[in-house]
Amino acid sequence: ALFKINTFHFHLTDDQGWRVEIKKYPRLTQIGSVRPKTVIGRNTAEYDNIPHGGFYTQDDLREIVAYAAERHITVVPEIDMPGHMVAAIAAYPELGDGKPAEVMMRWGVSDRVLNTKPETVQFCRDVLTEIMDIFPSEFIHIGGDECPKTQWEKDPAEQQRIKERGLKDEHELQSWFIQQMEDHLHQNGRRLIGWD
């Protein structure tokens, strides 16, 4: 109250762990919420060899939202996409390049990102729908930054989708993806926010 801080930006997903229950996709928390160990320090060669996991249930999150609302605090959830999704890809490899993945144990930016198949776009819409059901905030944060284009450049299917969608390149493909999420949020009376 002293600093008039009235917004809580709640970063719920990343490459190193998926931290929110999504009922339609249970493997996100069964698999994507657990990494086998964590790097010690800033990406050294040392690991703690302690499995790290955990997530918030939807009831937990509703309780947090209610607690915040009583104090005039808005909770803005963040679900990173299309980059920073290795934890989700570990749970559902078909969302990425189709190859097995493991929740990341190091920090940084991964070349493994979501593909832009219609099924993957629908997965993201489904996730955002459940998020909107939990969080009443006007804004929903989707990250959107640090999405290397390496996987899309090498994937003939993504190259075909670029052509079919009338896009110039992989950067326009990412813009197309973001636009799909923005349209979904707008249709539900919400606004997209992301990293520049």
Tens digits of residue pLDDT in 141-153: 999 999 999 999 9
Residue matched to tokens 């099924």: 119
| Whole-number pLDDT of residue 22 | 98
110-138 pLDDT tens trace: 999 999 999 999 999 999 999 999 999 99
Residue matched to tokens 């926010």: 193
CA quadruple 176, 128, 21, 136: dihedral, nearest 10 = 150
pLDDT higher than 80, residue 195: yes
From the number of C-beta atoms within 10 Å of its C-beta (0-12, 13-18, 19+), residue 166 rates as: exposed
| Whole-number pLDDT of residue 33 | 98
19-77 pLDDT tens trace: 999 999 999 999 999 999 999 998 899 999 999 999 999 999 999 999 999 999 999 99
State the catalytic residues: 14, 84, 146
What residues form DSSP beta bridges with 141?
A: 78, 193
Residue matched to tokens 């309780």: 63
pLDDT higher than 80, residue 178: yes
| Whole-number pLDDT of residue 29 | 98
As a residue count, the chain comes to 196
| Whole-number pLDDT of residue 3 | 85
pLDDT higher than 90, residue 2: no
| Whole-number pLDDT of residue 4 | 82
From the number of C-beta atoms within 10 Å of its C-beta (0-12, 13-18, 19+), residue 164 rates as: exposed
| Whole-number pLDDT of residue 196 | 81
**Rounded CA gap, 149 and 144, in Å?**
13
| Whole-number pLDDT of residue 176 | 98
